[in-house]
Amino acid sequence: MTEAQSTKSVAYSMEHEAVYAVTAYNSQNENLPKREKSRNNDSYFTKVARGNPIGLPTGTHCQEYLAEWQCNIFQQDALQTKKSDEQQCLEMRTPHLMEFWPTLFEWPVFSHILKHGFAWLTFGGGISSTLFLFIMGGTESVKQAAPHIAPLLLFCLSIWLLLKTITRGSPKLKKDTRFFRRTGMVSIYRKGQDRLEIPFEEFEPTMTYRTGAAGSTGFMLQLTHRQSDIVISHINDYPEEYQVYLEWERLHQFMDISQPLPDRIVTEPARQFDPVTAEYDRKTGRPKHLWRDMGREELRERREAAKKAAKDFPWGKTRAQALASGWKPSEQRIDWKALEATRQET
């Protein structure tokens, strides 16, 4: 199939309700494989590579996806475009159909990381160094240092602009791991071979601990295959365990066709194209562009409340158990009267 034909096929799936395959993952299926607690016959190094099992109850319970570290006002800005929802979905690799985990060892991913790094050096470094010099020696100190700092900042700015130009649009990845909601399959890259497809239900979520060069510890989500030694690692590591649990919960909900898509800012345009999600939004009355049209102050309030709720969630319990123990979801942590007063002032 050519790229043009593939684009037409995706566009057609957006306009017509697609049918979920019989292999699609459904957490309500009573015949799902039971989770493993351990594999006693594994060697020490195999156990280390596989990581520690995440002992969470099946399903999604916290659901505070606004607490994800990448959710921010910049994602909201990206939604406020003249492009149609269909076009935005195509540029995001149709997020109602596929979730993907990239790998660092691929140029499109590495170039995006470099772009963000040079952006920080250009703007963050420029502002912080100027403030430091001003505090230490005033305006005269800034003037004296400017001829030495300016060339470096201009170099960083040039590299950032170049990377920003060449990384426009969706990255064309080949080595990524792909999760398909409508088929329930996980597609794994293999060098020199066709991609390997394995049912999502055959994987177990595990967590590994990573120690950086400076001694800081990070936590990483992995998926380990029950019947083989295949281990898939998420590209990000997180400073706190609850962030790994939330990442797993989001992926699980994405693949589970008994539930709507996770309610995230970046994938909001895609909700209408997933049959289960569209029906859920219709029944609950969720606005089509809830995140896109939300005020900045409310978005910040919701995000801070979501972060606190996710961090406080008693992971390992169901949502009903958490609520019974006194846990409060994010919507109960916001001072809605104060927020309404802020809206009226603006």
Residues 6+ apart with CB under 8 A from 309: 62, 64, 67, 327, 328, 329, 330, 333
292-to-69, 268, 285, 326, 333 alpha-carbon distances in Å: 18, 8, 16, 32, 22
Residues 182, 286, single domain; the answer is yes
Distance, in Å, from the CA atom of 288 to the CA atom of 228, rounded to the nearest integer, reads: 42
1-to-21, 174, 214 alpha-carbon distances in Å: 21, 17, 48
Token digits for 270?
């895609």
**Beta strands 52-53; 185-188: pairing state:** unpaired
- Return the pLDDT at 22: 92
Is 248 within 8 Å of 236 (Cβ atoms)? Answer: no
Residues 6+ apart with CB under 8 A from 339: 297, 298, 301
Residues 79, 202, single domain; the answer is yes
1: exposed, middle or buried (C-beta count within 10 Å: 0-12, 13-18, 19+)? Answer: exposed
Q: Diameter of the chain by CA atoms?
A: 74
Residues 189, 155, single domain; the answer is no
Residue 270 lies in a domain: yes
Boundary-marking domain end, from 290, 305, 333: 290
Residue 253 lies in a domain: yes
Residues 265, 201, single domain; the answer is yes
Residue 310 lies in a domain: no
Residues 183, 280, single domain; the answer is yes
pLDDT digits (tens, 9 = 90+) for 187-229: 999 989 999 999 999 999 999 987 755 566 789 999 999 888 8
Q: What is the phi/psi pair of residue 225, to 5°?
A: -85, 135
The residue ranking higher by pLDDT, 16 or 277, is 277
Boundary-marking domain end, from 290, 319, 340: 290
Does the pLDDT at position 172 exceed 60?
yes
159-to-7, 114, 167 alpha-carbon distances in Å: 32, 9, 12
Report how far Cα 61 is from the mean position of its chain's Cα atoms: 17
- Return the pLDDT at 173: 77
Residues 123, 66, single domain; the answer is no
Residue 345 lies in a domain: no
Mean pLDDT of 112-140: 80
Boundary-marking domain end, from 150, 172, 194: 172
Residues 193, 250, single domain; the answer is yes
- Return the pLDDT at 221: 95
Q: Grade residue 3 by pLDDT with cuts at 50, 70 and 90.
A: very low
Residue 158 lies in a domain: yes
Task: List, as one string, the DSSP characters of 190-255.
Answer: -TTSPPEEEEGGGEEEEEEEEE-TTS-EEEEEEEEETTSS-EEEEEEEESSHHHHHHHHHHHHHHH
pLDDT digits (tens, 9 = 90+) for 282-326: 999 999 999 999 999 999 999 999 999 999 999 999 999 999 999
Q: Grade residue 346 by pLDDT with cuts at 50, 70 and 90.
A: low
Radius of gyration of the chain measured on its C-alpha atoms: 23
Does the pLDDT at position 341 exceed 70?
yes
Residues 194, 205, single domain; the answer is yes
Q: Which domain holds residue 54?
A: 3-104+178-290
Is 92 within 8 Å of 265 (Cβ atoms)? Answer: no
Residues 71, 162, single domain; the answer is no
Residues 246, 218, single domain; the answer is yes
Residue 304 lies in a domain: no
Question: Which of 66-70, 94-98, 115-119, 319-323 has the least mean pLDDT?
Answer: 115-119
**C-alpha dihedral, 159 to 161 to 166 to 170, nearest 10°:** 120
**Could you tell me which of 149, 147, 100 has the C-alpha nearest to residue 127?**
149
Mean pLDDT of 67-91: 83
Is 197 within 8 Å of 185 (Cβ atoms)? Answer: yes
Residues 209, 282, single domain; the answer is yes
Does the pLDDT at position 78 exceed 90?
no
Residues 90, 15, single domain; the answer is yes
Residue 336 lies in a domain: no
Tally of structural domains, the chain? 2
Residue 331 lies in a domain: no
